[in-house]
Amino acid sequence: MNLNYKIMAAAVVVVCVIVGALVYVEYPYRTQPKLQISTTTSLYDTGLLDAMATYYQDEYGVNLFFIPAGTGQAIEHAKNGDADLVFVHAPSTENTFMQVDNLGVVRKIIAYNFFIIVGPTEDPAGIENKSPTAALSAIAAAGRAGQAKWISRGDNSGTDTKAKSLWTKAGFSTDNLREERSWYIESVRSMGATLIMASQMQAYTLSDIGTYLTFSEEGSINLKKFSENAKDLLNVYSVMAINPILHPELDFDRAVDFIEFLVSDEGQNLISNFGVSDYGQPLFYPTVKLLRENTDPTMAGWIRDYAFFSYDNKKWECPPPYRAGQDNLYL
């Protein structure tokens, strides 16, 4: 046997060993059950979902696959049967999905944080220490004077829905503002991409605090946070399974298992601890104990006012007809 032949034979053996090892490592992951989750980019961009997917796969043997989009598009994915559940942050849109479309069931509120208005450090509109609505009025005045710009998501996401409601409360029509393109700009991009755009243009925008801190820490943006922690800026995250009667092909049982994990002490601790080591504060705050035990009556009241749904003259986290047999989650 000549030397070249021996070398070739050894190389073949090495390749076979490597391929065999890869198959051995990857095979369990390919055969494990999976869960498709349609979600918002503001959750995805922070890295929370990656951490959650790793933990859940390791502990429960289920692979989580996330489809990040604005809340409006995330719900469209669910309507089309492309996801087993949705994980979003736009209560008015969620309410329509549940009580009008009859598609959302087993809704649980699992976390909250706050939106913030961010913008150039120089603050050309002078919004420092102003309320959210007063800040928007000042930005509009500065924009029309050619001194400031505002970037809106413009994608029917949860952040876009919140921004529109704030502009309306400040006395503006967003339909009319869209015509003022010299200063009111729509990105139609994810939260992270919108923040980068705002930083590059030195414009103001609305962001969730989690994505802002993530992108600031990594040096992707240079923007200052202004209005924050106001009731009008409350940001509430909820999870819903898809109605198994309308979409029997989806994995309703595993969707409920994941919801049970999110509301458990285990899941809530994962949420509350995420970001603390990197940013000195959590990016999200858990809600289950807060709402169940009323540990902070003011915050619990804000969440109920903003994110509970009206049904039968009462306010509910999830109205009884939409609990799909999972009443134990609401005791």
The pLDDT value recorded for residue 30 is 54
Rg of the chain over Cα atoms, rounded to whole angstroms, equals: 23
Q: Are 144 and 271 in contact (CB under 8 A)?
A: no
Q: How many CA atoms are closer than 13 Å to the CA of 173, on its beta-carbon side?
A: 3
The pTM (predicted TM-score) of the whole model is 0.85
The pLDDT value recorded for residue 17 is 38
The pLDDT value recorded for residue 163 is 95
The pLDDT value recorded for residue 31 is 64
| pLDDT tens by residue, the chain, 331 residues | 444 444 444 444 333 433 343 333 333 445 678 999 999 888 888 899 999 999 999 999 999 999 988 888 888 888 889 999 999 999 999 999 999 999 999 999 999 999 999 999 999 999 999 999 999 999 999 999 999 999 999 988 889 999 999 999 999 999 999 999 899 999 999 999 999 999 999 999 999 999 999 999 999 999 999 987 889 999 999 999 999 999 999 999 999 999 999 999 999 999 999 999 888 889 999 999 999 999 999 999 999 999 999 999 999 999 999 999 999 999 8
The pLDDT value recorded for residue 173 is 95
- Domains and their CATH numbers in the chain: 29-113+235-330 (3.40.190.10), 115-232 (3.40.190.10)
The pLDDT value recorded for residue 15 is 39
The pLDDT value recorded for residue 223 is 97
Q: Are 238 and 91 in contact (CB under 8 A)?
A: yes
The pLDDT value recorded for residue 323 is 97
